[in-house]
């Protein structure tokens, strides 16, 4: 007797392209143009510290994924 694998039937409420729809993003969401990552961090250059708070300085948004690879991609 031979065993046959039967592929599971697709669920009617989960069409194949639903993953792509879930991956879509609102227009204002930050996304790295180089790697497509959405994890970012904010850096502050040249700030003063007064009463344990940062004052002034230039703030930049940098992609975390690219930073881990040694590249500095500024998103805003
Ligand atoms: Zn990136």
Q: What is the pLDDT of residue 8?
A: 76
Q: What is the pTM of this model?
A: 0.61
Q: Let me know: does 66 contact 73? Beta carbons within 8 Å.
A: yes
How many angstroms does the Cα of residue 54 sit away from the middle of ligand 1?
26
Does residue 64 carry a pLDDT above 80? yes
Whole-angstrom Cα distance, residue 64 to residue 40?
Answer: 5
Q: What is the pLDDT of residue 21?
A: 53
Whole-angstrom Cα distance, residue 44 to residue 60?
Answer: 7
The average pLDDT across 47-55 equals 94
How many angstroms does the Cα of residue 57 sit away from the middle of ligand 1?
23
The average pLDDT across 45-59 equals 95
How many angstroms does the Cα of residue 62 sit away from the middle of ligand 1?
8
Whole-angstrom Cα distance, residue 67 to residue 49?
Answer: 25
How many angstroms does the Cα of residue 43 sit away from the middle of ligand 1?
15
Q: Let me know: does 44 contact 34? Beta carbons within 8 Å.
A: no
Whole-angstrom Cα distance, residue 19 to residue 8?
Answer: 18
Does residue 12 carry a pLDDT above 70? no
């Amino acid at each position: 007797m031979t065993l046959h694998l039967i592929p599971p039937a697709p669920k009617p409420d989960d069409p194949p392209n639903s993953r792509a729809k879930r991956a879509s993003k609102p227009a204002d969401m930050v996304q790295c143009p180089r790697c497509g990552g959405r994890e970012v961090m904010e850096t502050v250059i040249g700030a003063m510290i007064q009463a344990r708070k940062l004052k002034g300085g230039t703030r930049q948004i940098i992609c975390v994924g690219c930073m881990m690879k040694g590249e500095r991609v500024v998103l805003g």
